Structure 1
Amino acid sequence: MTTALEVHESADRVVVQLARPEVRNAIDHQMVTELHGVCDLLEHVPRVLLLTGKGGTFAAGADISQLRERRRDDALRGINSALFDRIRRLPMPTIGLLDGFALGGGAELAYACDFRIGTPRLRIGNPEPGLGIMAAAGATWRLKELVGEPIAKEILLAGRVLDAEEARSAGLLNEIAEPDALLEAGHSWADRIARQSGLAVRLTKAAFHAPREAHPYLDDLTQAVLFETDEKQERMTAFLERSKK
C-alpha cells in the first residue's frame, strides 16, 4: 500500500520523511492520519523527532484538491490544527528539516517544531489569503511568538515569503545547512539533545510551553521530581569528579 510517510526508528530518535514528492509533499488526509500514528508512537515511547521532506521540498502546503472541497464543519474539526498542536506537544523535541518550499500548511507544520534547520533554497510563508482562506493551523498565533508581530503580519497579511537568510535573521531558523548536509545537521542537533537527561528535557519542554500563570509553582514541582532521580545524583557526582582532575 502506498504511504504518505517514510519512517525510520532508532533508540533515541525517529526520522519521518514526508513522501509525496510528486505533489511537493502536499499535506493530504492520508498524511495527516499517518502523522497522528507517528504521534502515537512518540507519545508511547518518547524520542526526538526529525521531520523532513522527500524530493527537495519540505511541504508546499495542504493538498488544494482536498482543501477546495472542505466546508465549515471540516474547518471546525481542526484537521490540521489539531495535528500540528499535537506535534508541538510531543514529549521530546522536534526538529524540522526544511528544504525548498515550506508554504501554507507546510510552514505551519514547521512552526510547530521546536527547532528548524533550512537550506539556502528554502522559501517559507503563508499565502493562504491569496486562495481566499486564512492560515488557520497555528500561524496566526504561533508565528507572532516566533518572529514578532511586524514580520508575522507581513507574512500573514501581505503574502511575504521569506528566504533562508531572512528566516534565519528573523529567528525562524536555528541553522542553515546545504541540502546534502541537512539530515546530518538534524542528527547533530538530535545528538546534542540526546546528551542531556531525557527526563530533564521532557519536563523543561513541558514547563516552557505551560501558561504563565502556572509558574513558578510548576518549575518548583518539576524540579522537585528531578531532584529525586538517580540520574541527577549520577550526573552531578560525575561533574564534581571531573572538576577535581
Structure 2
Amino acid sequence: MVELLYVNKSNGVATVVIKNPPMNVLSQQVTKELDIVFGQLEEDNEVISIILTGDGEKAFMAGADIKEFPERDAEKGDEIDTHTVFNRIENIPKPTIAVLNGFTLGGGLELALTCDIRIAENHAKIGLPEVNLGLLPGAGGTQRLPRIVGSSKAKEMMFTGSPVDAEEAHKLGIVNKVVPKGEGREAAEKLANKLANQSLQALSRIKRLVNVGSELPLEEGLEMEKQLFNDLFVTEDAKEGVSAFIEKRKPVFTHK
C-alpha cells in the first residue's frame, strides 16, 4: 500500500510527490513505495513523462532517515535494496524530471541524479553530507555525481559534505534549470507536457542510447544507435511523424 507518495496523472504526465514530513526523508517505506509506483508507471500505457518532487516548500528530500540507521543490519543491508530501486527509476523507459523544491541532500540528491532532467528552485541546497556522519554516499552518489561534475569536484563535495546552492549546481551541470521559489512544478509541467506530445517509441530509445550507449566504446555505441534507429524507423509513430512532416501538419503519435 502506498501511503507516503501520491500520484497525479493528466494528459500523459504523471506527477509523483514524496510526502514524508517534515523533510521528505528517504525511509525504507519511501524506498518501497518508489519501487511500487515506478513499477506501475512503467507499465501504464497512458503515462509518457514523469515528474518527481517533494511535498511542501522545504525539501525535495533531505537525505535518508537517520533514525533507521541503528536498526540496520550491517551484513544483510537494508530490507529493500536502494540501488535496485534507484536503477529502476534511472532506466524506466520514459523521460523523468525531478523538481528540487528545497533541501536536496544525501539520498535526496542521489535520487534526483537518477532522473533525466533536474529543475531546481532558487532556494534549494544540494549536496552529499554523509561524511559528516562518518559515512559515504551509499545510494549511487559516488558513481553518478562524478559522471556529471567530474571526479575532482565530486570528491570536494563528498569530502567536505558542504552543499552548493541552486545557481552553483546549475553551473556544475547538476541541474538543467533554476527557477524562482514555488515555480518548479509549473516549469516541470510545461516541459513534461511537451515531452508527452512526442513519441514514446523515440523517447525511450533516445534514453536507452544515452544511458547505456554512453558507457560503451564509441564504435559499439554507434552500432547500437544504428540498430535502434532501424528498429524505430518501422514503427507506426515514425511513419506518422514522416507523413505529418510531408503533409505539413502536427503528428498524432500513438506510441506504437
In the superposition, the TM-score normalised over structure 1's length comes to 0.92
Bigger helix share:
1
Aligned partners of 1:78 and 1:137 also within 8 Å: no
- After TM superposition, give the deviation of residue 139 of structure 1 in Å: 0.8
Large movers: runs of 4+ above 6 Å: none
Aligned partners of 2:48 and 2:195 also within 8 Å: no
Distance in structure 1 (CA, Å) of the matches to 2:235 and 2:84: 34
Distance in structure 2 (CA, Å) of the matches to 1:43 and 1:232: 22
Q: Secondary structure at the match of 2:16?
A: strand
Most deviating of 184-193 and 44-53: 44-53
Q: Is 2:56 aligned against 1:52?
A: no
Q: Secondary structure at the match of 2:147?
A: helix
Match of 1:89 in 2: 91
Match of 2:132 in 1: 130
Match of 1:189 in 2: 191
Count of residues in Structure 1 that have an aligned counterpart in Structure 2? 242
Q: Is 2:25 aligned against 1:26?
A: yes
Summarize the alignment of residues 1-245 of structure 1 with structure 2, pairs less than 5 Å apart: 3-22=3-22, 24-45=23-44, 47-56=48-57, 57-75=59-77, 79-210=81-212, 211-213=215-217, 214-242=220-248
Residues 96 and 26 (structure 1), Cα distance of their counterparts in 2 relative to 1, 3 Å cut: same
Distance in structure 1 (CA, Å) of the matches to 2:12 and 2:89: 17
Aligned partners of 2:121 and 2:180 also within 8 Å: yes
**What residue ranges of structure 1 are gaps of 5+ in the alignment?**
none
Distance in structure 2 (CA, Å) of the matches to 1:33 and 1:143: 23
Distance in structure 1 (CA, Å) of the matches to 2:7 and 2:145: 28
**What residue ranges of structure 2 are gaps of 5+ in the alignment?**
250-256
Paired residue type of 2:169: A
Residues 76 and 36 (structure 1), Cα distance of their counterparts in 2 relative to 1, 3 Å cut: closer
Paired residue type of 1:197: S
Distance in structure 2 (CA, Å) of the matches to 1:76 and 1:67: 9
- Identity level (%): 35
Distance in structure 1 (CA, Å) of the matches to 2:49 and 2:210: 17
Distance in structure 1 (CA, Å) of the matches to 2:226 and 2:69: 45
Q: Secondary structure at the match of 2:71?
A: coil
Residues 21 and 77 (structure 1), Cα distance of their counterparts in 2 relative to 1, 3 Å cut: closer
- After TM superposition, give the deviation of residue 142 of structure 1 in Å: 0.5
Paired residue type of 2:128: N
- After TM superposition, give the deviation of residue 79 of structure 1 in Å: 2.4
Q: Secondary structure at the match of 1:136?
A: coil
- After TM superposition, give the deviation of residue 81 of structure 1 in Å: 1.8
- After TM superposition, give the deviation of residue 237 of structure 1 in Å: 2.2
Distance in structure 2 (CA, Å) of the matches to 1:82 and 1:224: 31
Paired residue type of 2:25: A
Aligned partners of 2:51 and 2:188 also within 8 Å: yes
- After TM superposition, give the deviation of residue 77 of structure 1 in Å: 6.9
Distance in structure 1 (CA, Å) of the matches to 2:118 and 2:35: 20
CA deviation map 1:79-126 (0-9, x unaligned): 222211111011101110001100010110011111000011100100
Most deviating of 77-86 and 181-190: 77-86
Distance in structure 1 (CA, Å) of the matches to 2:78 and 2:72: 10
In the superposition, the TM-score normalised over structure 2's length comes to 0.88
